[in-house]
A and B are shown apart, each in its own frame.
Chain A
Amino acid sequence: MNFSFLSDPRYHILGAFWLTVQLTFWSAIGAFILGVILAAMRVSPVPLMRGFGGGVVNVVRNIPLTLIIIMMSQVLANQLGLRLATRVAGVNPQAFLDNQNFRLAVLGFIIYTSTFVCEAIRSGINTVPPGQAEAARAIGLTFTQVLGIVILPQAIRAVTAPLGSVLIALTKNTTVASAIGVAEAALLMNTLIENESDKFTAVFIVIAAGFIVLTLPTGLLFGALAKRNAVKQ
């Protein structure tokens, strides 16, 4: 098998995977924050918020990620004129486009992934023994205090492993950013297969290995964290 493309300066294999890591990192942070907010809404005593949270989750989850990412670029940016990066007049617009598409992709991943984070945390809330909330209420904590100080910390610890799965899914989902021209691993594989079509098996092995290197440690790390964080009951 011929792996000559690995040393070809035209292909930035590490650069592409670095972009995959960056997409995953920023999307994960955003999705976690938005997911916690959505979960808090879904368990709140205000019916309107519960309905809104549930509606958002059920709508977003059932739309293909591909559709969401392409809508970010074609509808939000091109049709409605959303700008997430600054364009300097007279400068090659490539840098602007790269930044813009990267940020649009991250926004799309945050919206999509937050619904899965929300559902994971909500199922974590169900694992917290009722006595915890009852005790918290008995000492006079308000709903926000019960949720923020007592329930959520335990719920998030209980769902460490599922959250790790969400993160792994997100890492793999970042390949969808290739649909709007973000130069991450899947787009690189596409270019490689076009230019070096005789070596497509070698290309597949390299890209697949890259993803295994990214996802395997994530799984092991979150497995270990889940064990360490397990709430003793």
Chain B
Amino acid sequence: MSERATVLFDIPGPRARRFNLVISVIFAVVLALLIWWVLTVLASKNQLTGDKWKPFLDGQNWTAYLLPGLWATLQAAAVSVVISLPIGALLGTARLSERPWIRWPAGVVVEFFRSIPVIILMLFAFQLWFYVLGVSSPFAAVVIGLVLYNGSVLAEVVRAGILAVPKGQTEAAMAIGLSKSQTMTIVLLPQALTSMLPAVVSQLVVIVKDTALGGILVGYVELRRAANTSASFYGNLLPTYVVVAVIYIVINMALSSLSHWLERKLRTRRGGGKVVHIDEGPQDDLMAARQRVTVLPTGEGAG
């Protein structure tokens, strides 16, 4: 038992420790009963037999279904983030423009695509692609849908990143005679991009999860959909979904810790500025991203 004191409770004394122990035991018993009950139900439905789980030792299950599905998921996510970044940078800087006829349209585009569900965007992109090019491409539909949404989210991240660059940088750039666009492209944007790196990586978690939307209506065979085919072939739906969930959890936790690592590294970097930070929370919401983007001041020694 940890004896860490928080603001909410004191370091437990003898009585509190006894009380906590009692609560712990009760909770552990309830939890154990719950797990036991789940296992009984699973066993009674024949979900725990070796047959159901053996397909994961079969190399063909992996090479024919799961790995191609995983590859499709990662591919769509990677392509989407690579395209979203420049679009986000463009929209983000456009929203900071001094000219209203640039600022306003950029604002409308960002707000529009943030308030529409990604599936709706994918469905529209699928049909549009078919209408323009005469061939259907689920991959293009998924990528376009994700880019429209995440480009808008990243636009807000870029905007916050640029606003977080110390004012002295702009003043210095002006003092040496740089134009407004030079100030933006060679002074502000590079600094902003570094400080928003952790936010971009944590947005990747959202993108990886959202690729699964492509398997619902536009027919992109990503990990979940590929696994579904595998599950009907081997007749092991529950084990397959559990394995797929674990794969997603591992990927996303790795991305989250990369994001935290980057954030710590940037914050302690010598002379580092500030880090744009999206609070852990409803990251799959665009509005949330905007409202929760805060700028963390760095420790001492900045500048």
Contacts and interface: CB of A to CB of B under 8 A. Distances in A.
A200 B119 contact: no
Interface in A28-47: 43, 45-47
Contacts of B7: 130, 133-134
Interface stretch (B22-30, B99-107, B170-178): B22-30
B296 interface: no
Given A65-B209, A161-B291, A116 B238 contact: no
Interface string A144-175: 00110001000000000110111011001101
Interface stretch (B56-64, B121-129, B185-193): B121-129
A3 B280 CA distance: 42
Interface string B226-254: 00100000000110010011001100110
Interface stretch (A88-96, A103-111, A209-217): A209-217
Interface stretch (B79-87, B211-219, B268-276): B211-219
Q: Range of interface residues on chain A?
A: 35 or more
Given A45-B9, A190-B217, 16 more contacts: A46-B24, A49-B27, A62-B209, A65-B209, A67-B224, A70-B228, A79-B45, A130-B7, A165-B291, A168-B287, A173-B117, A175-B120, A178-B217, A200-B128, A215-B115, A219-B287
27 contacts: A45-B16, A47-B1, A48-B28, A52-B27, A67-B224, A70-B241, A74-B241, A75-B237, A79-B238, A80-B45, A80-B238, A120-B282, A134-B7, A143-B9, A146-B9, A162-B288, A165-B282, A169-B284, A169-B288, A172-B117, A172-B118, A178-B217, A186-B123, A186-B217, A190-B217, A215-B115, A216-B115
Interface of A: 43, 45-49, 52, 58-59, 61-67, 70-71, 74-75, 78-81, 116, 119-120, 123, 125, 130, 133-134, 137, 143, 146-147, 151, 161-162, 164-166, 168-169, 172-173, 175-176, 178-179, 185-186, 189-190, 193, 197, 200-201, 204, 207-208, 211-212, 215-216, 219
